[in-house]
A and B are shown apart, each in its own frame.
Chain A
């Protein structure tokens, strides 16, 4: 999967307030009443290409750091490009973050940022011996970008089902959104499997595009008004045909959403400044939707954002430092915006990626691996901790699938995702519908939220 951003239409939000009529299809007074007390959002930041997390979270205890440097050789940090920022895990371990992450690194000490070690796609708990002897099932097509981005977003080791785990989480909590019809799951980076549910549609938003329709502006103003009036009428007739009405309803929702997005940009804009990067703009769009939660009456929403470029087979050090900087600045801005809105403990942002990379370098980069570390940020997160089992850095060691430092995951994606799902309100009885293999693992909650 790739992302493109070359031909987006950038329409600036214009001052306008949403009319009651425009809002009427997107929310109800009942829903409005529910919104104040109960809101939660999950934000997935997908790092396309396979992030080399060995250089994102580096062990600093003497033995492991020595082993890391011996194996990674020229790829080991710190180097001329990239420094390391020492951190302490609450449970006692010494680690360091890539200093590309310097804008969110302070949140580690403040207890809002956590890491989860060696997360990856599994069918069931897997040891090196089992993997090498091929005695238990493992995900299909490990190490293939095309397959792993599908499996990781589907939350299924065969990539089956046509739905994503973010969408299925949204399915499972949909009743909490009451009668509100505002979209529940959003992708800010094109059509995304992650946010597609069985019931829940993945609604795409393109940063900066406020859903303004072409062809509606004309001179004089009376001509424009006549166009808008006619479109509203055309969408308003009762054809008596269910499909036609449903199609018209989508476009009516678009008219209302257009008004909402314009109002979100215009009325008391956030003072938090977002970076002008691709990911920063996606996160700014997330913040805009978060800001609309009172107007729309939504209680649960899921977001998908992404950044590409992590397939660092060569020249990794500077590239990864730069990419992690973009991730860090965007995540920090969204976190600050949630503080500004008073909902920091209701929004959790987490990373995911195709796969981890080999511990052993490949020239100035690394090759496709399996497990990798992820970051989780939010006011509800019990931060300052490395969750899961940090792997032993050893080629051919107990966590290696072969001899190149391909980590066999010790926390499955199912466990990682189910932890968010539980926080989000998915009951234990509904978890197997979101993560069909969750029952294969000893726990469905790795403790991120206490």
Chain B
């Protein structure tokens, strides 16, 4: 059950040895002044209520920071004398049960984005640095050596030092240290020392002229330039969320039409037909499915159907034959821009779901017995309402003791299970997938049923009971925030703000014409929301691409696709996403999975272990260098680049939409310069695709 899952999720990692019978608090970390960090206490006690303190002060204070009743720590506006504060959760009932984490309050963290020039000869070294949160206390360091640093602005520093002969050919790590109480250290960027002794330019903001080629054992990397800017970013981000990845043509189309008109165009595209099973085998179904996602013209419909398929799950590990899965795909596609209630009705009477979750042949129980509960439980837990009562913004509704409130219990599931008795396959067959299931009222339990505050009168038909039950469940206030959260997580970001969920849930509840469940309006609300369209990524935004989306994003960026006769099913299974074959009704990954050692939700991380990451990358290398029978890719716009700098520009535009950090440009340039010419295009694409900047849609 997901309740169990959430309890397990709440169990945490901590450096202190905490065992399961005491309170555990997670997680320790640094918080900049004025910023907040949500802490969570895992409390395997009854009652499970806790009080929060900062340095043993209940609720904290302005000097050491405050903590709310729900564990939200807010750092003070100035770094305290002792920057490390202890935030403790103590049981209200058991004096000996408590635990704490150490939070280090820092100044706003200093960040270093780029330096200029990024290489130079022996002798005086003069550089300009761009970043954020620079202060008058900032010191530039090369290794452990501090340079004479001049503060220009919060985003600009200048520094002067010396490059020695011993450093020739080496890449030096340059970083910025904000000294003082609560100081921070930036990440590093590299500065390469060449053998050419260059007189320092009079103004370090002027780029170093390209060094004269000299016969040296270490070639000087070409200046990677500073890129072509982020003019395509807005269009590309929309396409990351609304399609299986931006292509050069689709970026141009969004820019031509604008967001609203592009969405309208997609809503009105003819639905790509999904061929009836015919004599197809199951391998063909999986291959054609992947191919369709990568190349269908109605990309938005494909993406929404894909998202709905992660909520309402059927797996080919049970429904192994084509006719046991294809009609389900047709239902998702047909209803992608329709109404969620209609979708629920189509799914609930489909022979495919009938088999997968045992609605078919679910016969009224005898005295003392119970009907099969599979569908009743998953319909409520996974497809509509979820485990806990939700607020309109998707956050759990808490009772007066601060506890979550279950949406159902076993007795209610047994009532709903009775509703779904009486269904069987067409043609009076043991199994027949040629059409929806049919009711057989003789096998239907006609007793009165009560659940979720609804009452179904005794004596209703199989069909009338099903429709009344779906109406009742669909009317539950959880459905809008629950489905809104699931769709936002799948399309846009794993950790939507409550306000974003609330805005989308409001549209789900009422499309403006008084209709609930309008998926077209809901999708439009998700994709046009200010949070989705914010091209300046906040720290915790984005979502890890699942294997399918990551692969399609790469090949579509290469103006390519997955071929209809591909043989990728086995390789996809090795990276955790065999097409149409999730391991259980919970899908390929749990929607509540948290990134290890983090409070952030990251469902797709559940199937991103080190082996998955390497095999995913190896599949990318195959797509780039040996597309063979599986992929079509077009590398001509990269092979025609001419210079390393232009190549990096084009790779940056195709995969990162102009957001490649300067330091990464330099790393790629250095690496590419050491390769033979033919290797440069695949390597530049590959290294960029391996970066978290491409793995995450943000």
Contacts and interface: CB of A to CB of B under 8 A. Distances in A.
Interface of A: 1, 4, 6-7, 9, 30, 133-135, 137, 140-141, 144, 146-147, 150, 154, 156, 158-163, 168, 171-172, 174-176, 178-179, 181, 183, 190-191, 193, 196-199, 201-206, 209, 211-215, 218, 222-223, 225-227, 229-231, 233-248, 250-251, 253-254, 257-258, 426-427, 429-430, 433, 436
A226 B669 CA distance: 10
Contacts of B698: 241, 243-244
B202 interface: no
29 contacts: A147-B318, A150-B583, A160-B586, A161-B1, A162-B584, A172-B11, A175-B13, A175-B18, A181-B596, A181-B597, A190-B573, A198-B9, A203-B609, A206-B574, A213-B621, A218-B675, A223-B675, A230-B668, A236-B188, A237-B663, A242-B539, A243-B494, A243-B542, A243-B696, A246-B595, A246-B602, A246-B692, A247-B544, A427-B21
Interface in B552-610: 570-571, 573-574, 576, 583-587, 590, 593-598, 600, 602, 605-610
Given A218-B679, A250-B608, A430 B595 contact: no
Contacts of B629: none
Contacts of B661: 237, 239
Most central of A181, A227, A426 by chain B CB within 10 Å: A227
Interface stretch (B239-247, B289-297, B365-373, B444-452): B365-373
A243 B602 contact: yes
Nearest to A215: B621
B1 A242 contact: no
A230 B625 contact: no
A239 B693 contact: yes
A230 B669 CA distance: 9
A162 B664 contact: no
Contacts of A237: 187, 661, 663-664
B5 A198 contact: yes
Contacts of A251: 610, 613-614, 617, 690, 692
A215 B600 contact: no
Contacts of B663: 233, 237
A139 to B, nearest CB: 11
Contacts of A205: 611
B361 to A, nearest CB: 11
A426 B186 CA distance: 41
A202 to B, nearest CB: 7
A429 to B, nearest CB: 5
A198 B1 contact: no
Given A199-B8, A233-B190, 15 more contacts: A160-B1, A161-B2, A163-B590, A172-B11, A181-B596, A205-B611, A214-B618, A227-B675, A227-B687, A241-B541, A243-B542, A243-B602, A243-B698, A251-B617, A433-B7
Nearest to B374: A140
Contact of B610 (A6, A193, A203): A203
Interface of B: 1-2, 4-9, 11-15, 17-21, 24, 44, 111, 171, 186-188, 190, 317-318, 358, 365-366, 368-370, 372-374, 377-378, 381, 494, 537, 539-544, 570-571, 573-574, 576, 583-587, 590, 593-598, 600, 602, 605-614, 617-618, 621-622, 625, 661, 663-664, 667-668, 670-671, 673-676, 679, 682-683, 686-688, 690-693, 695-696, 698
B687 A4 contact: no
Contacts of B613: 250-251, 254
A247 B608 contact: yes
A426 to B, nearest CB: 8
Nearest to A205: B611
A202 B586 contact: no
Nearest to A8: B574
Contacts of A163: 4-5, 8, 590
Contact of B606 (A154, A201, A213, A234): A201
Contacts of A246: 544, 595, 598, 600, 602, 605, 692
Given A191-B576, A213-B614, A244-B698, A201 B596 contact: yes
B692 A199 contact: no
Contacts of B584: 150, 154, 159, 162, 193
Contacts of A253: 610
A54 B621 CA distance: 49
Contacts of B605: 201, 246-247, 250
Contact of B667 (A159, A204, A234): A234
Contact of A201 (B598, B609, B664, B695): B609
Contacts of A134: 365-366, 368-369
B586 A6 contact: no
B609 A247 contact: no
A408 B619 CA distance: 46
A216 B607 CA distance: 24
A226 B670 contact: yes
Contact of B676 (A197, A223, A231): A223
A433 to B, nearest CB: 6
Nearest to B588: A191
Contacts of B187: 236-238
B573 A191 contact: yes
Contacts of B570: 4, 6-7
Contacts of B370: 137
B113 to A, nearest CB: 9
A140 B358 contact: yes
A175 B598 contact: no
Nearest to B368: A135
A205 B615 CA distance: 11
Given A214-B617, A235-B692, A240-B111, A179 B15 contact: yes
Given A179-B15, A214-B618, A247-B696, A199 B596 contact: yes
A204 to B, nearest CB: 5
B4 A161 contact: yes
Contacts of B24: 175
A239 B11 contact: no
A244 B693 contact: yes
Contacts of B602: 243, 246
Contacts of B188: 236
A154 B1 CA distance: 10
B680 to A, nearest CB: 11
Nearest to A430: B20
A134 B363 CA distance: 13
Given A150-B584, A175-B17, A254 B544 contact: no
B111 A429 contact: no
Given A214-B622, A239-B693, A248-B692, A198 B318 contact: no
A351 B518 CA distance: 50
A214 B674 CA distance: 18
A234 B689 CA distance: 10
Most central of B617, B690, B698 by chain A CB within 10 Å: B690
B111 A238 contact: yes
A135 B368 CA distance: 5
B9 A193 contact: no
Most central of B15, B20, B24, B686 by chain A CB within 10 Å: B20
Contact of A233 (B366, B369, B667): B667
B296 to A, nearest CB: 27
Contacts of A436: 1, 4
A156 B607 CA distance: 22
B586 A247 contact: no
Contacts of A223: 674-676, 679
Contacts of B537: 241
Nearest to A140: B374
B597 to A, nearest CB: 8
Most central of A146, A176, A236, A246 by chain B CB within 10 Å: A246
A257 B610 contact: yes
A292 to B, nearest CB: 13
B611 A244 contact: no
B292 to A, nearest CB: 23
A183 B609 contact: yes
B540 A243 contact: yes
Contacts of B369: 134-135
